[in-house]
A and B are shown apart, each in its own frame.
Chain A
Amino acid sequence: MSKHLNLTLKVWRQKNNKSKGQFVTIQANDIADDMSFLEMLDVVNEDLTRKGEDPIYFDHDCREGICGMCSLVINGRPHGPMEGTTTCQLHMRSFHDGQTIVIEPWRAAAFPVLKDLAVDRTAFDRIQQAGGYVNVNTGGVPDANTIPIPKRVADEAFESATCIGCGACVAACKNASAMLFVSAKVSQFALLPQGQTERYERAQAMVDQMDKEGFGSCTNTGACEAECPVGIKLTNIARLNREYFTAKIFRQEDVHS
């Protein structure tokens, strides 16, 4: 049998990008502790809708912890108090009856608030478009495993590729730095043979775009790694630094002309 909780929510409400937001206290009563955090918000929203009020706007999609759409800073922690978990996979059993829960959007100049708890994360898309891709020849589909890749390297690239682009790293960082995200996206290609063609241009283009979007710089506090729901490691950031400085010092295109 599930327990039921009565909670006090302090939720950030903001009409749109232009308006000033504020915290609104909302009572969430009779919440089953086996609900996910988002289901709890669904219940609260049904209640608000019934009362004719505007429901709380928040991002969500797959609710399976794999898409990277959900966000929320819950009691000061991106994706809440559980480690290695997205908000949709956080359950109300992590909270206790009578608790006050503060819910805030990701805070970053590069992630403007759209409404309430939803922020615009297209800055990540633009970084990705700047260099997070590989060129391939058209033609027949190549056979699987035609390019030999050591398992160790394939595993490492895979680890980096598990980044779901949720932005928790930016939310957790005191500088709102996107280095963990960018480093994961650079690493997944830099490690693999398919990513070599654009390898050094990629690092430069993605860092340039990252700076242009107004993210802060990395001070190696490690908060991003601690809050990442999929466990992206700081070694990725060291790799991005290597890729970038190698590109700048040894691999500028005009060196070859």
Chain B
Amino acid sequence: MSSKSKPVLTSSLGKKLIMSLTGLFLCTFLVVHLIGNLQLFKDDAGYAFNNYAYFMTHFTPIKVVSYLLYASIVVHAIYALVLTRQNKAARPVGYYQSSGNANSKWNSRNMGILGTVILVFLATHMQNFWWQYKFGTTPYVEYQTELESGNRQINASDEIPPNYDGYKIFVNNGVEVIQTKDLYKQVEYTFKNPLIVLLYVIAMAALAFHLIHGFQSAFQTLGFNHRRYIGLIKGIGIWIFGVIIPIAFAAMPLYFYFKSL
């Protein structure tokens, strides 16, 4: 046996390792993203959510992690493409009759299709909110909260006033004033469109099936498969990442759509 082996990342297992690690990192992001976005369900005209949105886009450590996140999405997609091409080349002549669901689950065989749906969704999602928030036009809001009584006055407008120069928070005579871009209102506007709501719901269904296979598959690739904890891994993959998270995300566009009717 020679000890001169190929470098780890060029081997089939190494590429799978990258898929596994980027995939799991994206899973942890989903948890954080969901918990933060649950503030959309608060009936406070977006006060909590808009402050959170400002924090998430301007706090340096979070910014660093968010760029890691974009990189992970790109790397996950590129390696998926590379592996899929290699895997297709490994069987140049296909079967006349395929075994279908007799020996494996549909979603485990179609991770690429599910992933593509998610990628299309991500592009739309980034355009809808990330791009609009950073470079596009969003509504504007000013919250005036009396600190003693907690009474809040909201001055909202569909356009950002010309004298607005970024997010501001200050206290004036016992009144907390926050001036910010109104991403919450942007969410309300976006989800008035039933086609966008439909895309989001379909994408969350795709995400569910992608993760029901993907989460436990990532652990298998890392070598974690033991009867002592495999049930726990599969349980988390199915119930948390396959059921709770996609349903909670899908509830957001549906909530705003039905609220707008």
Does B217 count as interface, using CB distance less than 8 angstroms?
A: yes
Interface size bucket, B side? Answer: 35 or more
With A102-B96, A104-B97, A220-B108 as known contacts, state yes or no: A176 contacts B91, CB within 8 Å: yes
With A104-B97, A174-B87, A234-B225 as known contacts, state yes or no: A210 contacts B109, CB within 8 Å: no
Q: How far is the CA of A131 from the CA of B3 in the complex (A)?
A: 11
Does B224 count as interface, using CB distance less than 8 angstroms?
A: yes
Does A10 count as interface, using CB distance less than 8 angstroms?
A: yes
Minimum distance in angstroms from B165 CB to a CB of chain A: 50
Within 8 A of A (CB), among B104-125: 104-105, 108-109, 111
Number of contacting residues on A, CB 8 A? Answer: 57
Within 8 A of A (CB), among B68-111: 83, 86-87, 89-100, 102-105, 108-109, 111
Other-chain residue from A73, A216, A237, A248 in contact with B95 (beta carbon distance below 8 A):
A73
Does B60 count as interface, using CB distance less than 8 angstroms?
A: no
B225 touches A238 (CB 8 A): yes
Question: Which one, A26-34, A40-48, A60-68, A197-205, is touching chain B?
Answer: A197-205
Q: How far is the CA of A221 from the CA of B103 in the complex (A)?
A: 9
Q: How far is the CA of A107 from the CA of B96 in the complex (A)?
A: 10
Contacts of A208 in B (CB 8 A): 5-6, 11
Kindly name the residue among B94, B102, B217 whose own CB sees the greatest number of chain A CB atoms within 10 A. Answer: B102
B1 touches A130 (CB 8 A): yes
With A76-B100, A77-B103, A221-B104 as known contacts, state yes or no: A235 contacts B225, CB within 8 Å: yes
Does B169 count as interface, using CB distance less than 8 angstroms?
A: no
B90 touches A110 (CB 8 A): yes
Count A-B pairs with CB separation below 8 Å: 155
A109 touches B91 (CB 8 A): yes
| B-contact bits for A208-233, CB 8 A (1 contact / 0 none) | 10110011111111110011000000
Other-chain residue from B11, B14, B104, B217 in contact with A226 (beta carbon distance below 8 A):
B104
Q: How far is the CA of A218 from the CA of B86 in the complex (A)?
A: 11
B91 touches A241 (CB 8 A): no
With A76-B102, A201-B1, A220-B217 as known contacts, state yes or no: A109 contacts B90, CB within 8 Å: yes
Minimum distance in angstroms from A37 CB to a CB of chain B: 16
Other-chain residue from B1, B95, B108, B223 in contact with A221 (beta carbon distance below 8 A):
B108
Contacts of A176 in B (CB 8 A): 87, 90-91
Does B8 count as interface, using CB distance less than 8 angstroms?
A: yes
B90 touches A241 (CB 8 A): no
Contacts of B97 in A (CB 8 A): 73, 75-76, 102, 104
B12 touches A210 (CB 8 A): yes
Minimum distance in angstroms from B101 CB to a CB of chain A: 10
With A176-B87, A241-B13 as known contacts, state yes or no: A221 contacts B105, CB within 8 Å: yes
Minimum distance in angstroms from A251 CB to a CB of chain B: 10
Does B128 count as interface, using CB distance less than 8 angstroms?
A: no
A216 touches B1 (CB 8 A): no
Q: How far is the CA of A93 from the CA of B34 in the complex (A)?
A: 55
B99 touches A172 (CB 8 A): yes
B13 touches A174 (CB 8 A): no
- Give me 23 A-to-B residue pairs in the complex whose CB atoms sit less than 8 angstroms apart, sorted by A's number: A10-B96, A131-B1, A175-B87, A175-B90, A176-B87, A202-B1, A208-B11, A211-B6, A214-B89, A214-B90, A215-B90, A217-B12, A217-B83, A220-B217, A223-B99, A235-B225, A237-B225, A238-B225, A238-B226, A239-B223, A244-B13, A247-B5, A252-B5
11 other contacts beyond A204-B6, A220-B221, with CB at 8 A cut-off? A76-B98, A177-B12, A204-B5, A219-B83, A219-B87, A219-B108, A226-B104, A238-B226, A241-B223, A242-B223, A249-B8
